[in-house]
Structure 1
Amino acid sequence: MKSAVETLNPTRVRLTVEVPFEELKDSLDAAYKKINQQVTVKGFRKGKIPARVIDQRFGRGAVLEEAVNDALPKFYTEAVNEAELNVLGQPEVDITELKDGETLNFTAEVDIRPEIEIPDYSGIEVEVDAVEVTDEDVEKSVEQLRERFASTTPVERAAAEGDVLTIDLEAKVEGEVLEDGVAGGVSYTIGSGELLDGIDEAVTGLESGGEATFTSQLKGGSAEGKDAEVTVKVTQVAARELPELDDEFAQLASEFDTLDELKADSRKRLENMKQYDQATQAQERVLEKLLELVEVPVPEKLLEDEVHTRKHNLENHQLAQMGLDLAKYLEIQGKSAEDFEAETREQAVKGIKTQFVLDELVNKEKLNVNQEELTEHLMRRAQSSGMSPDQFAQAVVEGGQVPMLVGEVARGKALAVVVEAATVKDTNGEVVDLSDEEEASEGGETVEADEAKSEA
């Protein structure tokens, strides 16, 4: 077999392959055997029909077609390996010549990973938010904890903001009560912004047994988007009571004995969260700077496939779980279809470039992934997917996704190498030491994965 490579552009090549006919012998034998098992000829036992009879009855062309279909993948793979190509996706194959007993010639156009030159990235400088936890931040955190331990007590007075009501609802559209427009015993907190627009004004001032009617646009159900006449009846008014902020509350809500200890722990937790956010911000901004330094051509076919995949996942998984279609999602987001298309394409380009650059860094820095790093990453992914580690691991193995996970870990390590070499300062001008955060996230998810979560 002879093969030659023609570069069509930085991300696509054309292979020209010439195969001597004798190299098709195994595939021809397999073709005759396969046809033998599929057809019957009077006077011959099944599977024992001579080749010349098959040629006469069914045509030599049918045999050649079967043999070529069997042989092409093998010859294509040999040509790819011989040229040491890093191919992407499936090739477009065209048989240019097939002469029985002489030769098989074909071409195969396929996308390849572009050659990328990684420049010196040690000079990258980025700015991130400073880690600052104020007294107000701590008070807000403790107040949120306090809210979780609030109790309610029925009261005999008019309902006011913050009260928890038990209500019955009935919705009518064009004078007809909707089948799914009746609900009883619904708990609602005045001012929460839940349920229907206009309900806060309707129930404020009502006592137990009080009733009001208001008009509101329905947010879901069989008449979603239509204006409905809603009757609300209050069956109970309850006041929310917050526990006193003292040592007794600290003992109730935490493992600490005093309120001061609880506040100190809240401050530490907030600092840790902001440090983690700071490290994530540093990764994102360093990656952006790195991508600006590198020229990365993107294969058009790969880009189109990635855009299609992102749209499919959004429409059929993320939005479907929320009970939305794409049109409703775009309406909520205030985006046009053109805006959505442009943003999806931009995100896809960035994702592909990120993978190419980080993969090249993995090779350049000779980074390896050990079993401990892979296991730790698998545990993280299992947790985010809502599956047990064993279930997730089984799904990964059965789906042949282990190489994908290894790639994610390796790219995470590559990005950590660049972040370590970069200069990261906070908004106060102080150099940020990210070594602890990098160790915690090394082998973790790349920025691509974080972006995917944000989109979800």
Structure 2
Amino acid sequence: MDVSVENPGGLARRLKVQIPAERVTEAVDAKVRRVGEHAKIPGFRPGKVPTKVLYQRYGAQARQEAAGELVQSVYPEAIEQSELKPAGQPQIELGEVKEHEPLEFTATFDVYPEIELKGLDDIAVEKPVAEVTDADVDKTIERIRDQNKTWESVERESRDGDQAVVDYVGRIDGEAFEGGSGEDIEVNLGEQQFLPDLERALVGRKAGEEFDVDVSFPDDYGAKDLAGKTANFEVTVKDIKEPKPAEIDEAFLQQMGIEEGGVDELKSKVRESLEQEARHAADTRVKTQTMDALHGANPIDVPESMVAQEIERMRKEAMQRMPEQMQQDEEQAKQLLPDEALREQAERRVALGLLIAEVISEKELELDQERVNAKMEEVAAGYGDQAEQVKQYYQQNPQLMQGLQAMVMEEQVIDKLLEGATVTEKTVELDELLNANREDG
């Protein structure tokens, strides 16, 4: 078997293979004999059809089928002979299949880049350190109270932070339009979640007021038939409400999972949660810096086939995170998130995956099963009373368990890289650390 390799550029390789005519003929003969065992041809008993007749009837088909099977079986041999490492499935181009002649095919694919790790001892990271203060705990409790607030009617004029309950009818050139009317609509003033002109017009109003207001729709408004137009809205203010943060009473404490200990136990639980979140945020910041340093010191070409797969995976993940009513079909998803928008991040992910694999190989790292078990316990603990069911679900779901194992192995890689890194600590405010981490997430 003759094998030659061409390099069209980058990581692409073109493998040209020629299978000897004898091997092709043997494969075709075997295929014809198998067909002949069951062929039903008038004038002949099954299994007794002369070879010449079988070739006349099935020869062309047998050659095509044998050629396809030969390519599948020969391709691994050709790869081994060429000493290449394909990074994805090949594109096969089959030559003309002629009787008693060699069979040629071309396989085009990407190969893995050759990686020689550099700069592992030059990694420098800054680890943020934040103290959880009593003020942080109190602020968090206030935020929880606000998240569980109720609304109470007031007789004063409305202001930002209030909620206005309104009926409205919108018209363009005197004609009502679809979606332009509503009843008992709750508008939280100052949150800018409603039509800006209408929301601003609701500030300073009292329950029972009626007024008109012109509302301009932006040029990029979602409803194209309204974009760039101005509508007149007739508005009736039915109620004005002010927020009332939740009282820290027995019901509130039970909702927070506090059965005993009262406010002190709530503060203790909130502090523990903040400290855990701060540790996670600091670890995430360190991990990001470490990966940036690894990537920056080792720029590599990445296989285009792997980038394409990563782009598709990222697009599917993004679509799954959207509300069900906003999810798109495949073509619409590509228009919403084109390859170009995802390429840079996909290339980075692929490069880091290859670099991490090289670190694992070079440092001879093995998966720490105890860390896997501890990670599973940590994940399950977040589900409270359902922790045991969650652990069983992981154990019974190979794909989920593989994801958990990959997460732990990545942590082991980070730990190994940090052994030779320069790590300095920097004191930061808790809000700064947590807000940055939430934005990155």
SS at match of 2:326: coil
TM-score of the two chains, using structure 2 as the length reference: 0.74
Note if contact 1:90-1:110 (Cα within 8 Å) is conserved in structure 2: yes
Q: For residue 201 of structure 1, what is the aligned residue in structure 2?
A: 200
SS at match of 1:269: helix
Greater displacement, 11-20 / 354-363: 11-20
Match of 1:352 among 350, 353, 361: 350
Judging changes above 3 Å, is the alpha-carbon distance between structure 1 residues 27 and 167 closer, same or farther for their aligned structure 2 residues? farther
Note if contact 1:92-1:110 (Cα within 8 Å) is conserved in structure 2: yes
Q: Which has the higher contact order (CA 8 A, sep 6+)?
A: 2
Judging changes above 3 Å, is the alpha-carbon distance between structure 1 residues 378 and 34 closer, same or farther for their aligned structure 2 residues? farther
Deviation at 1:29, TM superposition (A): 5.0
SS at match of 2:117: coil
Aligned partners of 1:48, 1:406: CA distance in 2, in Å? 58
String of CA shifts for 1:356-386, please: whole Å, max 9, x gaps: 10111122223333666667778969x99xx
Aligned partners of 1:109, 1:341: CA distance in 2, in Å? 22
Q: For residue 99 of structure 2, what is the aligned residue in structure 1?
A: 100
Q: For residue 432 of structure 2, what is the aligned residue in structure 1?
A: none
Deviation at 1:126, TM superposition (A): 1.7
Note if contact 1:355-1:411 (Cα within 8 Å) is conserved in structure 2: no
Deviation at 1:258, TM superposition (A): 6.0
Percent identity (aligned): 26
Q: For residue 300 of structure 2, what is the aligned residue in structure 1?
A: 296
Aligned partners of 2:116, 2:141: CA distance in 1, in Å? 51
Q: For residue 366 of structure 1, what is the aligned residue in structure 2?
A: 364
- Residue type of the alignment partner of 2:343: R
Aligned partners of 1:392, 1:47: CA distance in 2, in Å? 54
Aligned residues: 418
Q: For residue 116 of structure 1, what is the aligned residue in structure 2?
A: 115
Deviation at 1:203, TM superposition (A): 2.3
Note if contact 1:14-1:109 (Cα within 8 Å) is conserved in structure 2: yes
Judging changes above 3 Å, is the alpha-carbon distance between structure 1 residues 74 and 371 closer, same or farther for their aligned structure 2 residues? farther
TM-score of the two chains, using structure 1 as the length reference: 0.72
1:55-454 paired onto structure 2 within 5 Å: 55-57=55-57, 60-95=59-94, 100-101=99-100, 103-119=102-118, 121-133=120-132, 137-214=136-213, 215-217=215-217, 223=225, 225=227, 226-242=229-245, 255=258, 257=261, 259=263, 262-263=266-267, 265-304=269-308, 306-307=310-311, 310=314, 314=318, 317=320, 321=324, 323=326, 344-369=342-367, 407=406, 409-428=408-427
- Cα RMSD (Å): 4.6
Deviation at 1:175, TM superposition (A): 2.5
Aligned partners of 1:139, 1:229: CA distance in 2, in Å? 45
Aligned partners of 1:89, 1:317: CA distance in 2, in Å? 26
Judging changes above 3 Å, is the alpha-carbon distance between structure 1 residues 179 and 6 closer, same or farther for their aligned structure 2 residues? closer
- Residue type of the alignment partner of 2:350: I
String of CA shifts for 1:179-224, please: whole Å, max 9, x gaps: 3333222223322322221233322333322222321428656855
Deviation at 1:302, TM superposition (A): 4.0
Structure 1 unaligned blocks of 5 or more: 430-449
Aligned partners of 2:137, 2:401: CA distance in 1, in Å? 42
Aligned partners of 2:394, 2:157: CA distance in 1, in Å? 53
Aligned partners of 1:200, 1:244: CA distance in 2, in Å? 29
String of CA shifts for 1:392-437, please: whole Å, max 9, x gaps: 887766xxx97677555534432332134322223359xxxxxxxx
Aligned partners of 1:54, 1:306: CA distance in 2, in Å? 48
Note if contact 2:164-2:237 (Cα within 8 Å) is conserved in structure 1: yes
Greater displacement, 199-208 / 2-11: 2-11
